[in-house]
Amino acid sequence: MKRLVSPLLAGCLLAGLFLQPVALRAEYGDVVINRQAEKNGMRPVVFPHWFHRIRFRCKVCHAELGFKMRAGSNPITMTDIIEGRFCGACHNNDIAWSPENCDLCHSGKPGLPTGVFGGHETSGPGRW
């Protein structure tokens, strides 16, 4: 019986996979970060994975800089960024443009929840 249950469950989940919201037209892997931003009067932050992975391996952010691979689990504040942590490790006017370009990061539609967008197929945030 047990053997049967797992493929069945997988089958159900797989069926769900093709019914994901197609209306979300965002680029695959875009992460919206909106823990603090909107509460503090800024648009949510949109982080594009595709853009950054052309320039950096995952390891740079997710091992070296300590970004946890779980949407919404990194307590990022503007103070951190200006002092060179998280996004600020690169967005420091040396490796990439400085934090004063607010609207390049704070570019999300108001009201969006934190999470990965772009037709992701596994329910998140990741668990382990």
Partner 1 sequence: MNIPKTIALLASLLAISTQIHADAVGKDVYSKVCVTCHATGLAGSPRFGQAADWAPRVAGGMAGLYQSALNGTPKGMPAKGGHITLADADVKAAVDYMVAAAKLPKSEPEARKEEPKKAEAKKEEVKKPEAKVAVIAPVVPPSEAATALATTASAADANSFNRLLKPANKRNLPPPEDGIHDPANDGTHALQPPLTAFGSLPKSLAGNRVNWVEAIAQKKINPRYDRNDPKAEPIVMDLNIVREVKGSMPDVVYPHKQHTEWLDCSNCHPAIFIPQKGANQISMAAILLGEKCGVCHGKVAFPVSECRNCHSKKKDMAKVAIPAEAGK
Q: Based on CB atoms, which residue is closest to partner 1, 3 or 39?
A: 3
CB of residue 45 vs ligand HEC: minimum separation in angstroms?
4
Site string for partner 1, 59-88 (x = CB under 8 A): xx-xxxx---x-------------------
- Cα-based distances in Å from 50 to 9, 28, 44, 106, 127: 32, 8, 18, 17, 22
- Name the 3-class secondary structure at 79: helix
In whole angstroms, what is the distance from residue 24 CA to residue 11 CA? 24
Identify residues 14-33 at the interface with partner 1 (CB under 8 A).
14, 16-19, 21-30, 32
In whole angstroms, what is the distance from residue 66 CA to residue 64 CA? 6
- Cα-based distances in Å from 73 to 2, 42, 86: 34, 19, 12
Largest CA distance in the chain: 60
Site string for ligand HEC, 48-87 (x = CB under 6 A): xx-xxx-xx-x-xxx--x-x-xxxxxx-xxxx-x----xx
| Contact residues for ligand HEC, defined by CB under 6 A | 6-7, 10, 14, 31, 33-37, 40, 42, 45, 47-49, 51-53, 55-56, 58, 60-62, 65, 67, 69-74, 76-79, 81, 86-87, 89-91, 95-97, 99-102, 104-106, 111, 116, 124-126
